Structure 1
Amino acid sequence: MDVLSVREGLKFIKEHCSTGKGPMFCEIRTYRYHGHSMSDPGVTYRTRDEVNEVRQSRDPIENVKNRLLQVGWATEAELKETEKEVRGEIAAALKAAKASSQPDLDELFTDIYTTGKPHASGWHSRLESEFPPEVRMPDLVNNRHFK
């Protein structure tokens, strides 16, 4: 995956959708280094050699780091500092998430992309009458990654 191409594509999609031109579908192909869950280690349908080869040759983060270094847009020190900052952001977000309370059930269907009713499994019938008929979107206007 080419991180810079994905960024440009998503900027286009954001502009298209936020100017009222309608929804768009975005398919992004990537490689999952691990299994789907603890019960799926991911080694029954691919070899460790395959995973290592993909990680070494097609890792999107390593590829963008190499490109930034090659064209002189960043130094090793700058990239290490950025990685340190990002790891700090992740650690802070994880800590905040663990310390936060469970969301209210009223938030269960926030940002769900559908105009229909939730599956009628009966697990929470109150939500069927309260399910919003419109499609909701997160606020992407101020997203710092796509400006």
Structure 2
Amino acid sequence: MSWALRRATADDLDAIMAIETEMFPTDAWSPELMAAELAGPHGYYLVAQAADGTVDGYAGLLAPRGSGQADIQTIAVVPRARRRGLGRTLMLALLNEARRREATEVFLEVRADNPGAQALYAALGFAEIAVRPNYYQPDGVDAVVMRLAVTEPHGVLT
């Protein structure tokens, strides 16, 4: 299975929200918030489109140029596309964009009950720096805060 990564647009909102509500049933973003993220001047959102045109994943970065910092806002991959490198591919694309925007560090929060995602982020060089108790509501799940010091590109996607 292969995907084409492309910049997300407002036309992708319905597909993104379908994945968002499936993957995050208790704490999905609202369509209004997601639309604002897609349209925001400091964001960089991608979708992973399969050959048949379906969107199998998305990811977003907030990285104001010149701030030196970036935040992975969200990432989701549908179950049928998992364990095939798509999450890693989306993350590498966001990290490359963070570098282009001259970020020197990238942050993210990940659910404490998601060891698979934590392992992916650690493999990409992220380190745990804090825990935010009860961050994910209404579930009351802690957020593990992770940070990556941005270095020269490795695994660059162009």
Q: Greater strand percent: which structure?
A: 2
TM over 0.5: no
TM-score, normalised via structure 1 length = 0.27
RCO greater where, 1 or 2, for CA within 8 Å and sep 6 or more?
1
Q: Greater helix percent: which structure?
A: 1
